[in-house]
């Protein structure tokens, strides 16, 4: 087993997971140090200044606004400025603000619904076929227009996301009904899927394996059952799987006109 289990965190399986883990560990160590130091000081005060017969409280001089009590504040402020500028903003920008270009990355669309993750691969041509809410049907949950030439080699599945190892995958995240949240603990990746929006999310898996996708945003009575799986495979294996899937793509399914 990988040695990157610590502080109860799951295995880390993406390129940015170690950055998030670094922050989590750093902050927790700092929190522990602050709490223990304060705790010792607090306990000392309680014992030292407990009520004793014949010992009156000693009134201190009024220090006004800028007393020694502001020292912890200054320390906290410096620590926080360092955290913001050296850690949070750089890591956040890399993960959430700068999305990789779609031409340069492997692409997949995730369409969330109550209570499943629909997965839409563009197929070998790298182009997503048109999707329309009018075509949604139980046999065509994402409403893919099979008449669209770009849709001919598209692969559609549910609750199984295949990703190539060591390659950046750009995920186009959307939802058909309510807000869901795409969460893979091993990737340290979470993003809400909002109906009406398509949100770009990226991940570069760096560990072959099979992980859980869960929904992290309350989405209805079966929210806890809304789960899927990610398979991180070697690129050759991934390409082979995709080709096999594209070959057995189903016949165009059209929504019956009755509903």
Partner 1 sequence: MVTHDAAHDQHAQAPSGWLRAYVFSVDHKVIGLQYLMTSMLFLLAGFGLMLLMRWQLAFPGQPIPIIGKLLSPSLAPNGVMTGEFYNALGAMHGTIMVFLGIVPLAVGAFGNYVLPLQIGAPDMAFPRLNMMSYWLYLPGGLLMLSSFILPGGAAQSGWTSYPPLSIINPGQTVWLLAMVIIITSSLLGAINFLVTTLNMRARGMSLWRMPVFVWAQLVTSVLLLLAFPPLEAAAVLQFMDRVAGTSFYIPSDLVVLGLRHRASGGGQPLLWQHLFWFLAHPEVYVLVLPPMGIVAEIMAANTRKPLHGYKTIVLGMISVGVMSFVVWAHHMFISGMSPILSNFFLVTTMIISVPSVAILTCLIYSLRGGSIRFTTPMLFALAFLPMFGIGGLTGLPLGLTATDIYLHDTYYVIGHFHYVVVTGSIIGLMAGVYHWFPKWFGRKMDDRLGRIHFWGTLLSMNGVFFPMFIMGMAGVSRRLWDPTAQAHNLTTQHLNVVSTASAYLLLLFQAPFIYNFFHSIFKGQKSEENPWQATTLEWACPSPPPHGNFEKPPCVYREPYDYSPRGCERDYIPQNVEAA
Q: Site residues for partner 1, window 184-203 (CB under 8 A)?
A: 185, 188-197, 199
> Is residue 244 close enough to count as binding partner 1 by CB under 8 A?
no
For tokens 């041509």, the residue is 125
Query: In this chain, which stretch among 92-100, 147-155, 233-241, 245-253 interacts with partner 1, using CB under 8 A?
Result: 92-100
Q: Which of 150, 179, 246, 253 binds partner 1 (CB under 8 A)?
A: 179
User: What's the min distance (Å) between Cβ of 40 and partner 1?
Assistant: 11
Residue of 4, 15, 34, 237 that binds partner 1 (CB under 8 A): 34
Beta strand 106-113 with 116-121: parallel, antiparallel or unpaired? antiparallel
From candidates 147, 160, 212, 236, binder to partner 1 by CB under 8 A: 212
Cα torsion angle, 141, 147, 148, 154, sign: positive
Determine contact, residues 108/119, Cβ cutoff 8 Å. Answer: yes
Contact flag: residue 246 with partner 1 (CB under 8 A): no
Which SS3 state, helix, strand or coil, does residue 164 take? Answer: strand
Of 101-109, 156-164, 213-221, 244-252: span binding partner 1 (CB under 8 A) = 213-221
Q: What CA–CA distances, in Å, run from 31 to 26, 77, 187?
A: 9, 14, 24
Binding mask 127-166 for partner 1 (x = CB under 8 A): ------xx-xxx--x-x-----------------------
Taking the least distance from each CB to partner 1, the nearer of 248 and 257 is 257
E strand or H helix at 30: helix 17-48
How many whole angstroms separate alpha carbon 88 and alpha carbon 84? 5
Q: How far is the CB of 243 from partner 1 (least distance, A)?
A: 30
Q: Which residues contact 59 (CB under 8 A, 6 or more apart)?
A: none
């Amino acid at each position: 087993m990988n040695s990157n289990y610590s502080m109860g965190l799951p295995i880390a399986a993406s390129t940015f997971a170690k950055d998030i883990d670094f922050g989590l560990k750093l902050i927790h160590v700092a929190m522990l140090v602050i709490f223990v130091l304060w705790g010792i000081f607090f306990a000392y005060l309680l014992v030292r200044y407990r009520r004793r017969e014949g010992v009156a409280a000693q009134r201190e001089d009024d220090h006004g606004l800028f007393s020694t009590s502001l020292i912890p504040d200054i320390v906290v402020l410096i620590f926080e400025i360092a955290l913001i500028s050296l850690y949070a903003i750089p890591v956040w920008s890399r993960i959430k603000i700068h999305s990789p270009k779609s031409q340069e990355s492997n692409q997949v669309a995730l369409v969330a619904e109550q209570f499943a993750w629909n997965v839409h691969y563009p197929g070998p041509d790298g182009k997503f076929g048109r999707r329309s809410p009018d075509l949604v049907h139980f046999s065509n949950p994402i409403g893919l227009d099979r008449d669209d030439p770009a849709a001919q080699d598209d692969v559609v599945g549910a609750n199984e996301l295949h990703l190539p190892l060591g390659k950046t995958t750009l995920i186009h995240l959307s939802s058909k009904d309510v807000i869901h949240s795409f969460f893979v603990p091993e990737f340290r990746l979470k993003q809400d899927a909002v109906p009406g929006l398509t949100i770009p999310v990226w991940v570069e898996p760096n560990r072959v394996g099979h992980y859980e996708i869960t929904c992290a945003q309350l989405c209805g009575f079966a929210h806890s059952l809304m789960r899927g799986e990610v398979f991180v495979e070697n690129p050759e294996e991934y390409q082979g799987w995709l080709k096999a899937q594209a070959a057995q793509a189903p016949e165009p399914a059209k929504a019956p006109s009755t509903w």
